[in-house]
Amino acid sequence: MLGKDRFGALKGKITRGPKREIGAVLVVGGGIAGMQASLDLVQNGYKVYLVDEKPAIGGVMSQLDKTFPTNDCAMCIMAPKLVETGRDLNIELITMADVLEVNGEPGNFEVKIRRRARYIDPEKCTGCGECARACPVRAINEYNEGLDLREAVYVRYPQAVPRSFAIDKDICIGCGLCENMCLAKAINYQDRDRIETIHVGAIVLTAGFEPFDADRKKEFGWSKYANVVTSMQYERILSASGPFAGHIQRPSDGKIPKKIAWIQCVGSRDVKVGNEYCSAVCCMYATKQAVMTKEHEADVEPTIFYMDMRCYGKGFERYYVNAEKNSGVRYERCRVSELLEDPETKDIIVKYEKDGKLLEERFGLVVLSIGLEPAKKTSEFVNIFDIEPNEYGFIRTGEANPLKTSRDGIFVAGALQGPKDIPESVMQGSAAVAEVSSLLSTARGSLIKEKTYPPQRDVTGEEPRIGVFVCHCGINIGAYVDVPAVAEYAKTLPYVVHAEHNLYTCSQDTQRRITEM
């Protein structure tokens, strides 16, 4: 009799017959961990099917303004990976899709996938945006966390990969204006969901996390008080591509708040909401947001109300100390009991206990540092992939191997395994590739397509032809440099035949236009 431990090796005598392993891997989730895993898998000789439920890959990192502890532009770090993932011949992007069924064994899985109707042909769509400009319907913009509206026909964000629009059928009124405006004839109202089957040798789950729903903490008044926002909303406020173009302002009246408070551990380390665990990133992203706030508006007074500062990563403690000593961030160790709104000024009154005294303090804006929860689809994954969750609802892994799920051939990386920051998610994405490579070593290179290059020609004696593309990089460069003037000056230089400026030169549509020139 052959028995198997859920995390160990097969127990008993094993007789292996000839088995054909498939040199392809399914990666579920197109966030930073999923992209890193996909790119590394291709480098190791495996074809990749990258599935994401959204219209574009990028995950939560695409919504962030900066990353800690270096304060680097999140999109600047991620954009090259987005472009590389979208262009790789051996990565097949399957967006707006769900995994329905998984059968088979390690080395040979049969996976059934549903591609939801996009109503726009991504092969024809040029990403020009004329359809969105013609659309008369508006809906809440999920990417900007509900701070503004988007059209029924939309692209998830400016640098989206694939750079193809989609139609939200739940709000589309079928007026036909977008179809009339589309010169590429990409609109297809008759598009339907499609079921298809793929075969892979291994599966890597990188579907990420779900931000905690702040409405579950009624005492903080989110969705009731206009000037109480979540940390994800504040990321979009800080972002140059956000609803306020990177200008810090209150949602209620558009004014710059004089004082901003951060309330820590909203939805984390909280028995009442069922999340006893620490979300690992909240202390640092709140500190980062406070530091960036001072860079945007030097006169703003940031205060962080916290239980414990958990600055455990490389350079984190130094970042925290620098924020307090040099950036003017004030830290108050206490528990906030309640938030109230002044109905006249819309200011928020923070009530908290410190040293046995109940104190009140007025702020122009309050940011709730929400924790990380298992993605909504995690419970579905448990059934579809036949794997086990842990006590908090994330995917259970072995004590000695944080990548291996309870089913052989299926691995997990990133925040789907538990709360973690971007560097650790990237590290796990790469580590999962090592596990896959060990499993599918005999199939390496079997399904890889080789690149073909255009023929070279002799340009000896021809004048150089130089193209100049100047990037605003949101406001990172545009706020300090007269970018249009730089582009105009470039046109006067010898051999420059073309010069232009773009909000994000790294975006897929700009990159594609450059190659077509």
**pLDDT digits over 356-385, tens only?**
889 999 999 999 999 999 988 899 999 999
- Return the number of other C-beta atoms located less than 10 Å from residue 451's C-beta: 7
Question: Looking at the structure, do residues 295 and 367 belong to the same domain, yes or no?
Answer: yes
8 A C-beta contact, residue 125 and residue 181? no
Q: What percent of the chain has pLDDT over 90?
A: 84
For residue 275, the enclosing domain spans 212-372
Preceding peptide of 343 cis, ω within 30°: no
348 and 257 part of one domain: yes
In order of 72, 117, 158, 333, 498, the CA distances from 469 in angstroms are: 22, 36, 17, 48, 8
Q: In this model, does residue 126 exceed pLDDT 90?
A: no
Q: How far apart are the first and last CA of the chain?
A: 66
Both 87 and 203 in one domain: the answer is yes
Quote the pLDDT of residue 508: 65
Q: Coil, strand, or helix at residue 13? A: coil
**Final residue belonging to a domain, choices 372, 396, 420:** 372
The count of domains in the chain is: 3
Tell me the CB-side half-sphere exposure of residue 361, using CA atoms within 13 A.
23
Q: What is the mean pLDDT of residues 197-223?
A: 97
pLDDT tens figures, 272-327: 999 999 999 999 999 999 999 999 999 999 999 999 999 989 999 999 999 999 99
CA distances from residue 236 to 147, 337, 363 in whole angstroms, order as listed: 8, 27, 20
Query: How confident is the prediction for the chain on average, in pLDDT?
Result: 93
List Cβ neighbours of 83 (8 Å cut-off, separation of 6 or more). Answer: 161, 506, 508, 511
The residues with which 47 forms a beta bridge, in sequence order, are 24
Residue 264's nearest CA partner among 248, 279, 249, 276 is 279
Same domain, 367 and 218: yes
* Together in a domain, 363 and 389: no
The CATH number of whichever domain residue 438 belongs to comes to: 3.50.50.60
Answer yes or no: is 133 within a domain: no
Q: State whether 252 and 355 are in the same domain.
A: yes
In a domain, 494, yes or no: yes
CA distance 200 to 430: 18
In a domain, 499, yes or no: yes
Q: What is the band of 510 on the pLDDT scale with cuts at 50, 70, 90?
A: confident
Position 15 scores a pLDDT of 36
Residues 266 and 391 in one domain: no
Same-domain status, 368 and 380:
no
Answer yes or no: do 473 and 429 share one domain.
no
For the beta carbon of residue 89, count every other beta carbon within 10 angstroms. 12
The structure tokens listed for 394 are 């994330």
What is the tens place of the pLDDT at every residue in 438-482?
Answer: 999 999 999 999 988 888 889 899 999 999 999 988 777 888 999
- Of 372, 394, 417, the position where a domain reaches its end is 372
Structure tokens at 211: 């931000």
Residue 5: the pLDDT is 43
Which two structure tokens, joined as six digits, stand for 421? 């920051």
User: Residue 136 falls within a domain, yes or no?
Assistant: no
Q: Which of 372, 398, 419 represents a domain boundary (last residue)?
A: 372
13 domain-assigned: no
Residue 306 domain-assigned (yes or no): yes
The model's pTM = 0.85
In the predicted structure, residue 2 carries a pLDDT above the cut 80: no
